[in-house]
Amino acid sequence: MSKRKFHGAIIECAQGDIADQPDMEAIVNAANASLKSGGGVTGAIHRAAGPALEQECRKLAPLFPGQAVISSAHHLPNRYVIHCLGPIYRVDEPSEQLLALCYRNALQLAEDNGIQSIAFPAISTGVFGYPPTAAAKIACMTVLDVLPHLATVHHVRFVLFSLDDLRIYEQTLDESIKNK
Ligand code: AR6
């Protein structure tokens, strides 16, 4: 786990499972449009939360690329799950803007709900095919753009599954902070 300070907030990069972040108030789901369980991130979140999450999500679906909605976390150790539908790379266009919108909307929802800490997975970089380095740049730049305007959210964690992705996010975050 590595930690950076930015405008009074903490931004971390960690290798791990998004469904195992007990110290974070909200975790973000890389969801599908119908907000049902599936593979990857959403499978891990729904398995840990239990069937009541899918039940609650029924009334929040369908999601459009870039959109974010909030639910309770059920059996997860967090208070909330914020569900984002990332773009399918080069199918949902403009993919860059839609991916940025996920991070922007998730952070705004967190702020609106008085959430202080939020953990993001690498949205769209699995089944949806977004190249990890390009996705990392969008994730880091958007968080750095939005965070200074938020009063409540002051702790953001990027949770990466692989060591390669962790390295990419750490390097991208450092470069993005330097260029701010
Ligand atoms: N914790 C953290 N990161 C993970 C985890 C985990 N438990 N599992 C996978 N990753 P994906 P997407 C990484 O496919 O691309 C789903 O099946 C993974 O290595 O979960 O937005 C839904 O039903 C990758 O880097 O999300 C949707 O249809 C990243 O998280 C679709 O796939 C995202 O992988 C969403 O695709």
Query: pLDDT 10s digit of each residue in the chain, 180 long?
Result: 999 999 999 999 999 999 999 999 999 999 999 999 999 999 999 999 999 999 999 999 999 999 999 999 999 999 999 999 999 999 999 999 999 999 999 999 999 999 999 999 999 999 999 999 999 999 999 999 999 999 999 999 999 999 999 999 999 999 999 998
Cβ–ligand 1 distance for 45 under 6 Å, the answer: no
Query: Rounded to the nearest whole angstrom, what is the distance from the C-alpha of residue 40 to the centroid of ligand 1?
Result: 4
Cβ–ligand 1 distance for 127 under 6 Å, the answer: yes
* pLDDT at residue 42 in the model: 98
Cβ–ligand 1 distance for 78 under 6 Å, the answer: no
Residues 6+ apart with CB under 8 A from 24: 78, 117, 118, 119, 155, 157
What CA–CA distance (Å, rounded) separates 30 from 51? 17
Bridge pairing between strands 80-84 and 26-30 = parallel
Query: Rounded to the nearest whole angstrom, what is the distance from the C-alpha of residue 123 to the centroid of ligand 1?
Result: 7
Which of 24, 27, 32, 41 most suits a substitution to test ligand 1, by most atoms within 8 Å of the C-beta? Answer: 41
Nearest CA to ligand 1 atom 5: 41
Residue type, 86: G
**Pick from 113, 43, 112: nearest CA to 72:** 113
